[in-house]
Amino acid sequence: MTGETAALGARYSHASGLDPAVTERSVTAQIANIALHPTIRRRWCLSMMGAGLLTFVLMVSIGWLFVAGIGIWHLQIPVTWGLAISNYVWWIGMGHAGTLISALLLIMNKGWRNSLNRFAEAMTVFAVLNASIYPILHLGRPSFFYYLIPYPGTLGVWPQFRSPLMWDVFAVGSYLIVSILFWYIGLVPDLAVLRDRAHGRFAQVAYGLLSLGWRGAARHWIRWRIAYWTVAGLAVPLVVSVHSGVSMLFAVGLEPGWHSTLLPPFFVFGAVFEGFAVVTLIALSLRRAFGLQDLVTARHMELLARLVLATGLATIYGYLFEAFGAWYSGQPYERALAVYRLLGPYSWAYWATLACNALSLQLLWSARLRRNLWVLGAVAALVTVGMWCERFMIVIPSLAHDFLPSSWRSYAPSVWEWMTFAGTIGLFLLLFLLFVRFLPVISMFEVKEILHAEREPRAVA
Amino acid sequence: MPGSRVSREFDAPFTPSANYGRREAVKLMSASLMLMGLGGCGRGESDEHAVPYVDMPEGAVPGVPRAYATAVPLSGYAQPVVGTTIDGRPIRLDGNATHPASNGGIDALTQAAVLQLYDPDRSQAILNLGRESSDAQFQAALHDAMRGHAGPTGRGLRLLTGATTSPTLARQWALLRDRFPEARWHLHEPAVPLLDTAVAQAAFGTPAELIHHLDRAHAVVCIEADPLGPGPSQVYCAAAWAALRRQLRTGRSSPTLVVAERTPSLTGAQAEHRLVASSADVPALLHDLARRLGLGGAAQTASLSPAATAWADAAFRVLSDAGPSGLLMVGPQLPADLQAVGLAINAQIGSLGHTVVAAEPIDLRPRADGNLEKLVEAALGGEVGLLVMLDCNPVYSGPADLPVPDALSRIPFRVHAGLHADETAAQSHWHLPLAHPLESWSDGRAVDGSAVVIQPLIRPLHGGRTMHEVIALLTEETGAPRDLVRTTWMERLSNDEARWRQVLQDGCVPGTAAPTIAFQMAKLQALPASFAGAPAVRTEAGFTALFRPDSTLWDGRFANVTWLQELPKPLTTLTWDNIIAIAPATAKRLGLARGQIIRLEGENRTLEGPIWPLAGQCADVLTLFFGYGRTRGGAVGSDIGYSAFALQPRGGQWERQGIRLSALDRQASLAPMQLSDRTEDSDILRTVTPERPEVENRAAKASFYSDWSYPHDAWAMVIDSDLCIGCRACMTACQAENNIPVVGKEMVALGRIMHWLRVDRYYEGGDDNPVTHFQPVPCMHCEKAPCEVGCPVNATVHDPDGLNAMIYNRCVGTRTCSSYCPYKVRRFNYFTYTVDRESPLAAQYNPNVTVRERGVMEKCTYCVQRITAARIASEKAGRPIADGEVVTACQAACPTQAIIFGNLKDADSAVSRAKRDERNYTLLADLDTRPRTTYLARIRSSKPPQS
Q: Do A147 and B810 touch (CB under 8 A)?
A: yes
Task: Identify which of B828, B831, B924 has the shortest CB distance to residue A403.
Answer: B924
Interface contact B554, partner A, CB < 8 A: no
Closest residue in B to A251 (Cα) is B820
Looking at beta carbons, which residues of chain B come within 8 Å of A336? Answer: 680
Looking at beta carbons, which residues of chain A come within 8 Å of B678? Answer: 405
The DSSP 8-state label assigned to residue B649 in this structure reads -
Looking at beta carbons, which residues of chain B come within 8 Å of A172? Answer: none
The DSSP 8-state label assigned to residue B852 in this structure reads P
Calpha distance B387→B415 (Å, rounded): 6
| B contact residues 742-801, partner A, Cβ 8 Å cutoff | 747, 750-753, 758, 760-762, 775, 777, 786, 788-794
Q: Do A71 and B831 touch (CB under 8 A)?
A: yes
pLDDT at residue number B532: 66
Q: Do A405 and B677 touch (CB under 8 A)?
A: yes
Per residue in A235-274, pLDDT (tens digit) is: 888 888 888 888 999 999 999 989 988 899 999 999 999 9
DSSP β-ladder status, B77-86 and B66-74: antiparallel
Q: Do A147 and B793 touch (CB under 8 A)?
A: yes
Q: Do A139 and B813 touch (CB under 8 A)?
A: yes
Provide block-wise average pLDDT over 10 residues at a time, chain B (947 residues). Answer: 44 51 71 57 52 55 83 93 90 91 91 92 91 90 86 87 92 90 90 84 86 89 93 92 80 75 93 89 88 72 81 90 89 88 89 89 85 89 90 90 89 92 92 92 92 91 90 87 90 88 90 86 77 58 90 92 94 93 92 92 89 93 93 90 90 85 91 90 85 79 85 93 93 94 93 94 91 94 92 92 92 94 94 87 90 93 94 92 93 94 93 92 90 92 49
Looking at beta carbons, which residues of chain A come within 8 Å of B930? Answer: none
Q: How far is A409 from chain B (nearest CA, A)?
A: 7
Per-residue pLDDT band for A350 (boundaries 50, 70, 90) equals: very high
Please give the interface size between A and B, counted as residue pairs whose CB atoms are below 8 Å apart.
166
Smallest CA-to-CA distance from B535 within B338, B282, B369 is with B338
Interface contact B698, partner A, CB < 8 A: no
Looking at beta carbons, which residues of chain A come within 8 Å of B682? Answer: 332-333, 403, 405
Mean pLDDT estimate for chain B: 87
Type of residue numbered A260:
S
Per residue in B718-773, pLDDT (tens digit) is: 999 999 999 999 999 999 999 999 999 999 999 999 999 999 999 998 899 999 99
| Interior/surface letters B397-411, b for 16+ CB within 10 angstroms, e for the rest | bbbbbbebeebbebb
Chain centroid to Cα A171, Å, comes to 15
| Interior/surface letters B919-944, b for 16+ CB within 10 angstroms, e for the rest | bbbbbbbebbbbbbbbbbbbbbeeee
Helix (H, G, I), strand (E, B) or coil at A381: helix
Calpha distance B585→B418 (Å, rounded): 43
Residue B565 neighbours by CB under 8 Å, 6+ apart: B552, B553, B559, B575, B576, B636, B637, B742
Interface contact B819, partner A, CB < 8 A: yes
Interface contact B827, partner A, CB < 8 A: yes
Strands (E) located in B519-604: 543-548, 574-575, 580-582, 596-602
Judged on CB neighbours under 10 Å (0-12, 13-18, 19+), A342 is middle
| Residue pair A139/A224 in contact by the 8 Å Cβ criterion | no
Report the run of H or E that residue A32 belongs to, with start and end.
helix A24-36
pLDDT at residue number B611: 95
The gap between the terminal CA atoms of chain A, to the nearest Å, is: 34
Q: Do A404 and B818 touch (CB under 8 A)?
A: no
Closest residue in A to B855 (Cα) is A140
Per residue in A380-410, pLDDT (tens digit) is: 999 999 999 999 999 999 999 989 999 999 9
| B contact residues 856-875, partner A, Cβ 8 Å cutoff | 856-857
Q: How far is B733 from chain A (nearest CA, A)?
A: 21
| Residue pair B749/B762 in contact by the 8 Å Cβ criterion | no
Q: Do B793 and A138 touch (CB under 8 A)?
A: no
Looking at beta carbons, which residues of chain A come within 8 Å of B829? Answer: 140
Beta-ladder partners of B911:
none
Report the run of H or E that residue B389 belongs to, with start and end.
strand B386-390
| Residue pair B295/B344 in contact by the 8 Å Cβ criterion | yes
Looking at beta carbons, which residues of chain A come within 8 Å of B777? Answer: 404, 406
pLDDT at residue number B804: 93
Calpha distance A318→A267 (Å, rounded): 9
Looking at beta carbons, which residues of chain B come within 8 Å of A71? Answer: 747, 752, 830-831, 854
Instruction: HSE, CB side, 13 Å, CA atoms: give it for residue B551.
Output: 25
Smallest CA-to-CA distance from B190 within B624, B444, B549 is with B549
Q: Do B682 and A333 touch (CB under 8 A)?
A: yes
Q: What is the CA radius of gyration of chain B?
A: 28
Calpha distance B931→B937 (Å, rounded): 16
Closest residue in A to B751 (Cα) is A76
| Interior/surface letters B584-608, b for 16+ CB within 10 angstroms, e for the rest | bebbeeeebebbbbbebbbeebebb
3-class SS letters over A293-343: CCCCCHHHHHHHHHHHHHHHHHHHHHHHHHHHHHHHHCCHHHHHHHHHHHH
Task: Compute how many other C-beta atoms are within 10 angstroms of the C-beta atom of residue B365.
Answer: 24
Task: Identify which of A69, A142, A157 has the shortest CB distance to residue B831.
Answer: A69
Higher pLDDT, A335 or B302: A335
Q: Do A71 and B830 touch (CB under 8 A)?
A: yes
Chain centroid to Cα B424, Å, comes to 23
Smallest CA-to-CA distance from B834 within B807, B861, B795, B808 is with B808
pTM for the whole thing? 0.89
Helix axis angle for A298-329 and A373-400, nearest 10°, is 20
pLDDT at residue number A68: 92
Closest residue in A to B812 (Cα) is A141
Calpha distance B639→B630 (Å, rounded): 6
Calpha distance B263→B582 (Å, rounded): 9
Task: Determine which of A246, A407, A408, A410 to mutate to test the interface with B (most B C-beta atoms within 10 Å).
Answer: A407
Looking at beta carbons, which residues of chain A come within 8 Å of B856? Answer: 140-141
Per residue in A141-183, pLDDT (tens digit) is: 999 999 998 888 888 889 999 999 998 888 888 889 998 999 9
| Residue pair B584/B767 in contact by the 8 Å Cβ criterion | yes
Phi, psi of B705 (to 5 degrees): -95, 145
Residue B30 neighbours by CB under 8 Å, 6+ apart: none
Closest residue in A to B814 (Cα) is A139
Q: Do B676 and A158 touch (CB under 8 A)?
A: no
Calpha distance B178→A322 (Å, rounded): 86
pLDDT at residue number B6: 44
The gap between the terminal CA atoms of chain B, to the nearest Å, is: 64
Q: How far is A403 from chain B (nearest CA, A)?
A: 6
- ipTM for this model: 0.91
Chain centroid to Cα B334, Å, comes to 21
DSSP β-ladder status, B386-390 and B157-161: parallel
Judged on CB neighbours under 10 Å (0-12, 13-18, 19+), B29 is exposed
pLDDT at residue number B534: 52
| Residue pair B645/B600 in contact by the 8 Å Cβ criterion | no
| Interior/surface letters A166-189, b for 16+ CB within 10 angstroms, e for the rest | bbbbbbbebbbebbebbbebbbbb
pLDDT at residue number B537: 52
Closest residue in A to B853 (Cα) is A141
B264: left (phi over 0), alpha (psi -120 to 50) or beta: beta
DSSP β-ladder status, B621-625 and B543-548: parallel
Smallest CA-to-CA distance from B809 within B793, B788, B821 is with B793
Looking at beta carbons, which residues of chain B come within 8 Å of A173? Answer: none
Residue A68 neighbours by CB under 8 Å, 6+ apart: B831
Looking at beta carbons, which residues of chain A come within 8 Å of B926? Answer: 331
Closest residue in A to B679 (Cα) is A405
Calpha distance B15→A453 (Å, rounded): 91
- Share above pLDDT 90 across residues of chain A, in percent, rounded to a whole number: 50
| Residue pair B732/B756 in contact by the 8 Å Cβ criterion | no
Q: How far is A141 from chain B (nearest CA, A)?
A: 5
| B contact residues 372-431, partner A, Cβ 8 Å cutoff | none
Helix (H, G, I), strand (E, B) or coil at A385: helix
Per residue in B793-827, pLDDT (tens digit) is: 999 999 999 999 999 999 999 999 999 999 999 99
Task: Identify which of A77, A157, A405 has the shortest CB distance to residue B818.
Answer: A77
Q: How far is B787 from chain A (nearest CA, A)?
A: 9
| Residue pair A407/A109 in contact by the 8 Å Cβ criterion | no
Q: How far is B841 from chain A (nearest CA, A)?
A: 23
Residue A120 neighbours by CB under 8 Å, 6+ apart: A97, A98, A101, A102, A275, A279, A282
DSSP β-ladder status, B920-921 and B933-936: antiparallel
Strands (E) located in B781-893: 796-798, 804-806, 827-828, 857-858
Closest residue in A to B797 (Cα) is A160
Q: How far is A428 from chain B (nearest CA, A)?
A: 25
Q: Do B751 and A76 touch (CB under 8 A)?
A: yes
pLDDT at residue number B9: 46
Q: Do B682 and A164 touch (CB under 8 A)?
A: no
For the four alpha carbons of A251, A257, A261 and A266, in that order, the dihedral sign comes to negative
Mean pLDDT for the stretch of residues A55-77: 93
Task: Identify which of A74, A249, A404 has the shortest CB distance to residue B760.
Answer: A404
Mean pLDDT for the stretch of residues A416-424: 94
Q: How far is A130 from chain B (nearest CA, A)?
A: 18
Mean pLDDT estimate for chain A: 87
| Residue pair B417/B388 in contact by the 8 Å Cβ criterion | yes
Distances from the Cα of B415 to the Cα of B75, B128, B134, B142, angstroms: 21, 9, 14, 9
Looking at beta carbons, which residues of chain A come within 8 Å of B857? Answer: 140
